[in-house]
Structure 1
Amino acid sequence: MQHVSRTPEAIAADRARYEEHQRKGLEFAPRALPGSSPRPAPPPEPGRVLVNETVPGGWYWTTRLAAGEGLRILAGGLGGSVSLAAWSAADTAERMNLPDTVKVQWTTDLRKGRVILSDMGRVLFSIAEDSSGAHDALTGGAPASEPGTPHARNTRDNMVLAAAKLGLDKRDLHALLTFFAPVRVDAAGRFFWNGALLSGDDWVELRAEQDVMLALSNNRHPLDPDQGIVPAVRVLHLAAVPVAADDLCRTATAEAIRAFQNTARA
């Protein structure tokens, strides 16, 4: 392989670009995120509900959202942890990317005011409402069935079926975001379940920022100490409503602003 040496001018130009990027990031004061959304969830605006679906415990659900449309997920009691997978409808090679979502926003605390990114640095969803902030971006859902229990429905099996229903394959699956899953990390770096953060009437609402395909799986999280019956959850597909230019999700951080600029250029 031929080694290409870089000129001092090129190195200096790269350094200048990096320092300018760093300066802009340090000078931008992030907007304070709001408190949690009220519980129980208020009714949607009249005429806004396009689909009202019930997802039983252990089952999955798939849909497509157009840019601007919303997805409201309502817990039906304690015990259901709803995992999300998502892809750009325009090109399913672009998919939700949790490592980038966490890295770009400098936090695993994905709650109201945050965004969910694709692996192309574009915004798939804004988290428009959220009552708990208790979501898991680190560990994923329940694994595949253990030998001898082929009847057991779990997150991995559900997502393989959901991907097929969307015309995708298991190789298209990625790390999952799980709602209503209060996974935290202790001082020794170990995951633990902080159930005090949850309520049986929690809810979260996402706003699609581009046309997307998504899959949900309603299961007990593997770290949940109670592995009993999984309650059904309700899912509302909501019509789009106007979004203000100073919408918090779009302006809270310099990183979010750049991600929306990337989305607009596509």
Structure 2
Amino acid sequence: MTPAATPNPTLTPAHTHEVPGAVAWSAPVRAGRTVTLTALADGANATMLMIGADRLDRLNIPDTLKSQMSARIKPGMVLMSDRGLALATVTASSLDWHDCLTGALPDQLLLLELTKHGFGEADLHACINFFSKVSVADDPRASLTYVPDHAHAGDTVTLRADQDLLIFLSTAPHALSDEPAAGVAVQIETPAHTDDPELREEATRALRLTRELIA
């Protein structure tokens, strides 16, 4: 069984990488490891796709939001797959809003990174835009609009992998933003010990099912 997460675990350094602005990057992450993203400049955006290492489980944004009664990604949420399993848990963040409604900028960055692992355009599913926020515009269509000045250099978000994963990251600007691309630092670590944050019942069930399968 994968150990669970504390808000401030003691971590053992494993891997650190800086992803410049307007670049794509990918990496495997073992179950139980944490991934911390740090904005290197104001207005950074980190678009992330997530696929289980067995290639069966894909991040399902509608199920993740619906089951946890949210329209945003925030700390204390489990990122669920299309089979209802836990891919990762958001254990901490300096921001309480990460966009997952507007998708990725169609700049081919994520698609090019996916092809390195044998995936294609059909695998370019819904994603999370870490460090970005959108709101409803004051227009007749109630369209979504990008919220400027939401994220600043030094803002962080930490995920715990709840099963072996492949993560894909693009630092292209948010699709609704006119701000320049900014870099993001990625730190993958092995926690000495972690406990689950407070979660909704649906999220706890997804974690339990996942741990039963990978135990």
How does the TM-score come out when normalised to structure 2?
0.88
CA positional deviation for 1:110: 1.3
Alignment of 1:97-116 (within 5 A): 97-116=60-79
Equivalent in the alignment of 2:133: 182
Once the two structures are superposed, what CA deviation does each residue of 1:71-120 show, in whole Å capped at 9, x if it has no partner?
A: 11100111321011111112x13211101101111112311111110101
CA positional deviation for 1:45: 4.4
Unmatched segments (≥5 aa) in structure 2: 1-6
Whether 2:133 is the aligned partner of 1:133: answer: no
Whether 2:184 is the aligned partner of 1:233: answer: yes
**Counterparts of 1:222 and 1:173, CA distance in 2:** 15
SS of alignment partner, residue 73 of structure 2 = coil
Aligned residue pair count: 205
Alignment of 1:1-266 (within 5 A): 45=10, 48-90=12-54, 92-143=55-106, 154=107, 157-186=108-137, 189-226=142-179, 228=180, 230-244=181-195, 247-248=196-197, 251-266=198-213
Range with bigger deviation, 79-88 or 234-243: 234-243
**Counterparts of 1:136 and 1:224, CA distance in 2:** 12
**Counterparts of 2:191 and 2:121, CA distance in 1:** 31
Range with bigger deviation, 233-242 or 210-219: 233-242
**Counterparts of 1:115 and 1:136, CA distance in 2:** 15
Q: Answer whether contact 2:39 2:154 (CA < 8 A) is retained.
A: yes
How does the TM-score come out when normalised to structure 1?
0.72
CA positional deviation for 1:259: 1.0
Q: Answer whether contact 1:123 1:263 (CA < 8 A) is retained.
A: yes
**Counterparts of 2:204 and 2:137, CA distance in 1:** 32
**Counterparts of 1:231 and 1:196, CA distance in 2:** 13
Aligned sequence identity (%): 29
**Counterparts of 1:211 and 1:131, CA distance in 2:** 25
Higher helix share: 1
**Counterparts of 1:85 and 1:127, CA distance in 2:** 14
Quote the RMSD (CA, aligned, Å).
1.9
Once the two structures are superposed, what CA deviation does each residue of 1:152-201 show, in whole Å capped at 9, x if it has no partner?
A: xx3xx111111111222221221111101111224663212222432222
Flag the structure with larger Rg.
1
What letter matches 2:62 in structure 1?
Answer: P
**Counterparts of 1:222 and 1:256, CA distance in 2:** 29
Higher strand share: 2
**Counterparts of 1:167 and 1:89, CA distance in 2:** 12
